[in-house]
Amino acid sequence: MSKNKPKVAFYWCASCGGCEESIVDLAEDILKVVEAVDIVFWPVALDFKKKDVEAMEEGSIAVSFINGAVRLSEQEEMVKLLRKKSQLIVAHGACSHLGGIPGLGNFWNKETIFKRAYHTTPSTDNPQGTVPMEKSVVDGKELYLPRFYDTVYALDQVIDVDYYLPGCAPPRDLILNAVQAILQGKLPPKGSVLSPNKSLCDDCDRNETKPEKLTIKEVKRPWEIMLDPEKCFLAQGVICMGPATRTGCGERCIEANMPCRGCFGPTDQVLDQGAKFLSAFASILDTNDEKEIEKIVETIADPAGTFYRFSLPKSILRRRKMEAVK
Amino acid sequence: MNKRITIDPITRLEGHGKIEIFLDDKGDVERAFLQVPELRGFEQFAVGRPVEELPRITPRICGVCPTAHHMASTRCVDDVFHVEPTPTAKKLREFIYNTFMMEDHTLHFFFLGGPDFVVGPQAPAAERNILGVIGKVGLEIAGKVIRIRRECRDILNHLCGKVIHPVCGLPGGVSKGLDEEHRVQFLETAKFAVEFAQFALKIFDDVVLKNKEYVSVVLGDAYKMKTYYMGLVDSANKINFYDGHIRVVDPEGKEFAKFKPREYLNHVSEHVEPWSYIKFPFLKKVGWKGFVEGKESGVYRVAPLARLNASDGMATPLAQEHYDRMYKTLGGKPVHNTLAFHWARLIETLQAAETMVKFLEDKEITSPDIRKIPTEIPTEGVGVVEAPRGTLFHHYKTDEKGIVTEANLIVATINNAAAIAMSIEKAAKAFIKGGKISEGLLNMAEMAFRPYDPCHACGTHALPGDMPLVINIYDKDKELIKQLKR
Amino acid sequence: MSNGAFEPKLVGFLCNWCSYTGADLAGTARMIYAPNIRIIRVMCSGRVDPQFVLKAFAEGADGVLISGCHPGDCHYQEGNYKALRRAKLLSRMLEQFGIEKERFRLEWVSAAEGVKFQQVCNEFTEQIRKLGPLKMNGGKDEQKQA
């Protein structure tokens, strides 16, 4: 272990592991980078423990990449610890950047999630109504679990974050560029999202197929029509989050002929991705008649869950009102 | 004197996991618990979502096997809409799925489970990783492994948009077809995949099976467990990863149940414990008798060895040869030795590769007829596939507009939750006696659960790849008296 | 505050050319109406970004009003139609957040309709008073304080 190599750490919160996989996908390219750093903490692969991190000096880790949203007490503790010990924190992936898919839990709370998981799912056989407890005693032995929160948080709602690597999962080029920028000390201003500040439509191949005045007469769900592989989805009446989503992903979903769902989050100028998309989409509905507008709006299957698919915790409202969760 | 041993965290488990071991007064293991301290709530937040979006939401349960969730979800959505995909779409999906199985199994063998195995349980920790494997079998392998992984992932990127979180599944078909140019290109990869799988089996043969000491560990009692076994089979009871009936055999190998996905609730139930966020599935018709093995207990296992046990054979010829060989070597069906999961995994890799070739040689796979638009009112459906780590159940109910009202998921590794807990306890009991704890214990405990390849393997064992284990030993006053690290 | 009863906090986005002028008219005519509405002048109801509405709710508003020119009379031709379309979709989405439909309103108030403005304010205030405070907390309290 060379003393001169910058120390790097990786950690996962409420995560699927896709961001870890995205690091592995760099395998061949990152070998040189790996040689240039010392990985001091990576629970999924290495044997360093929380205690080892606690023993480190403050600021001794050059950069920590943290993926996953925060929804357990253990995750909150760990990210706060890493913040103390790291010079830079990078929120890696949509979950730490915006809350991600686990953020959809913000339409619910601990009680409803537990009720579903441990009582009402049809395969669950739980006549005594057992639920996981923070502390339980089995045969006289005490066992502990971390506390499950009612609300899911993006990383910067818990600690100070220096940079964001967007995407679900971030594409390899983006990660590589970010890592190289860090190693060379050529970073943009603190708080930057490490992907160009334009919307997806700017880079999308289908942009040219948008008519001069784009209007939507009928909203179609992706399963309702044959999707034209070359035409702009909005022009086909299919909701595509492209206008409200930052570019940098290579339009991978579009190329598989499926509309964008916004995993890169908004551009710099936008506070709330879902509201911005709502604004843009509603503006192009092709009618001025109140009743007709109502009719079209009714066909939009799940406005909040679609417009905030990845960004619910970072939205202005953050979550469904607690008293309204049943 | 009561002692408590905490192993925290263990790795290569969905997110996080820890093991607590309790010693009795004699210093022998009284109980061991595998706790999974993680829950996100997919079964609840799926509610209110349009059902056709679930194939894009549920892969976020796992970034290592997202294709498994995507496929199970897509098939479930087909069922919800009462629509059959077009023949070409079916072939494309099954081709995609086998490509994914091939890649995922390969990853596990070379980067995760394999190293322990190939380099041996007694080898120094520093060698038990991919570098040790390369040292043992040659640098050429590293190149082949990286190549096959990259090429398979390129196929998935092309057809599914993203290999991490695919998007192509729709009720009645897929969103993107395959053109002739790519069919030819991918066929090259598929043929190489067959070669590679055979090559991996040969490594296994040379390095593992020819090592008598290792074979004896495989056959030993510490890692043996008699349970029921579950897997998907086709109409001839041969293994199929993508479609078919779910078949269960008892610890003696006799067929116990065979059912369609929609009937799963008659057969599978989940048990809850207060000390873990995950649930413990068991066979409903046998009942939950606790964390015990045997015919009277409803505990069952899934994933490679279980699939081979639950089937009457492999669906492809080259894999079948290896299937026969494995059972002959290990003393007939069913095989209860947990470490044989690694062998079974490689045999499945070969079937997946052969199946890739089969679909690519079928000209219909380039047809543009890849979607059928559903016409029925959506109601309820079940989709089941075999994820690399086990049988995966997706079950959705919707309103008449196709908005999800209820979701139920039984996720691959979870089927093995009880078995993994029991394997750990069994290994702990075998190796910790009289209060003596040693480095060897750490090793052996790892080996008890890694064959199951608990979901969420990250893959790089290429770094100082030990499994992180710290054992804290506290005396009855909760003072830390000893700590073993590795 | 009167007798400790709940006093709704209302925010109103009023378009410059019609509604704001209408509100002014109510003022200069010395009309009495519920003082609960805090007015923000915008050039057009079509200027109102849904983010403003969400921010108002997040920061403690119990009700939000957008008021613009009558359909066909928009100073900028189409702006109020945009507001109408957005408002309909926003209303649906707010319900998913647990915010009742009644808390968000779109009204057309012309420059001459001081009386209408008075009526809207009174009605809206009473309606929200009955509904009660919104208490949109956003999960801010749950984390431990560092």
Spatial separation of the C-alpha atoms in residues B116 and B465, rounded to whole Å: 10
Q: Name residues 259-278 of chain A within 8 A of C (Cβ).
A: 270-272, 274-276, 278
Q: Which CATH architecture has domain B42-373+408-417?
A: Orthogonal Bundle (1.10)
Secondary structure of chain C in HEC code, one letter for each residue? CCCCCCCCCEEEEEECCCHHHHHHHHHHCCCCCCCCEEEEEECCHHHCCHHHHHHHHHCCCCEEEEEECCCCCCCCCCHHHHHHHHHHHHHHHHHHCCCCHHHEEEEECCCCCHHHHHHHHHHHHHHHHHHCCCCCCCCCCCCCCC
Binned at pLDDT 50, 70 and 90, residue A3 comes out as: low
Per-residue pLDDT of B195-238, as tens digits, reads 999 999 998 888 888 888 778 877 777 778 899 999 999 999 99
3-state secondary structure of B317: helix
For residue B475, the model assigns a pLDDT of 44
CB contact under 8 A, C54 and A320: no
Binned at pLDDT 50, 70 and 90, residue B30 comes out as: confident
In this predicted structure, the answer to whether residue C56 has a pLDDT above a threshold of 80 is: yes
Q: What is the DSSP string of B102-148?
A: HHHHHHIIIIIHHHHHHH-TTS-GGGSSHHHHHHHH-HHHHHHHHHH
Per-residue pLDDT of B428-485, as tens digits, reads 788 777 777 765 566 666 677 777 877 633 222 222 223 334 445 444 444 444 554 4
In this predicted structure, the answer to whether residue A91 has a pLDDT above a threshold of 80 is: yes
Mean pLDDT, residues C107-128: 97
In this predicted structure, the answer to whether residue A74 has a pLDDT above a threshold of 60 is: yes
Binned at pLDDT 50, 70 and 90, residue B309 comes out as: very high
Contacts of A228 in chain B (CB under 8 A): none
- Collect all residues with Cβ–Cβ distance below 8 Å to B431 and sequence separation of at least 6: B222, B440, B441, B444, B445
Binned at pLDDT 50, 70 and 90, residue B129 comes out as: low
Per-residue pLDDT of A296-326, as tens digits, reads 999 999 999 999 999 999 999 999 999 999 8
For residue B121, the model assigns a pLDDT of 61
Question: Across the interface, which of C49, C135, C143 has its CB nearest the CB of A76?
Answer: C143
Tell me the two tokens of residue B120: 């041996």
Binned at pLDDT 50, 70 and 90, residue A142 comes out as: confident
By the CB < 8 Å criterion, does C136 face chain A? Answer: yes
Q: Which helix (H) or strand (E) holds A149?
A: strand A148-153
Domain with CATH 1.10.645.10 in chain B: 42-373+408-417
CB contact under 8 A, B63 and A227: no
Residue B239: which of B307, B301, B306 has the closest Cα?
A: B307
Spatial separation of the C-alpha atoms in residues B285 and A125, rounded to whole Å: 12
By the CB < 8 Å criterion, does B60 face chain A? Answer: yes
Residue B461: which of B471, B450, B474 has the closest Cα?
A: B450
* Average pLDDT of chain A, as a whole number: 91
Mean pLDDT, residues A38-62: 81
Mean pLDDT, residues A234-243: 96
Per-residue pLDDT of B317-333, as tens digits, reads 999 999 999 999 988 99
Mean pLDDT, residues C28-52: 97
Residue count of chain C: 146
**Domains of chain C with bracketed CATH:** 10-131 (3.40.50)
Per-residue pLDDT of B155-168, as tens digits, reads 999 999 999 999 99
* Average pLDDT of chain C, as a whole number: 93
In this predicted structure, the answer to whether residue C61 has a pLDDT above a threshold of 90 is: yes
In this predicted structure, the answer to whether residue A231 has a pLDDT above a threshold of 50 is: yes
* Average pLDDT of chain B, as a whole number: 85
CB contact under 8 A, A158 and C143: yes
Mean pLDDT, residues C130-134: 95
Tell me the two tokens of residue A87: 């010079």
For residue B211, the model assigns a pLDDT of 81
Place of tokens 């490679």: B304
Tell me the two tokens of residue B377: 């009112």
Topology (CATH) of A7-101+150-184: Rossmann fold (3.40.50)
For residue B423, the model assigns a pLDDT of 85
**pLDDT: which is higher, B423 or B458:** B423
Binned at pLDDT 50, 70 and 90, residue B398 comes out as: very high
Binned at pLDDT 50, 70 and 90, residue C1 comes out as: very low
Residue C6 has, within 13 A of its CA and on its CB side, a CA count of 16
Per-residue pLDDT of B349-360, as tens digits, reads 999 999 999 999
CB contact under 8 A, A316 and C85: no
High-pLDDT (> 70) share of chain A, %: 95
**pLDDT: which is higher, B141 or A269:** A269
Question: Across the interface, which of B159, B275, B373 has its CB nearest the CB of A136?
Answer: B275
Q: Supply angle C-alpha B222, B225, B231, rounded to 5.
A: 140
For residue B441, the model assigns a pLDDT of 65
For residue A94, the model assigns a pLDDT of 97
Binned at pLDDT 50, 70 and 90, residue C11 comes out as: very high
Give the start-to-end residue ranges of the domains of chain A.
7-101+150-184, 200-314
Neighbouring subunits of C (3+ Cβ pairs under 8 A): A
CA quadruple B312, B317, B321, B326: dihedral sign: negative
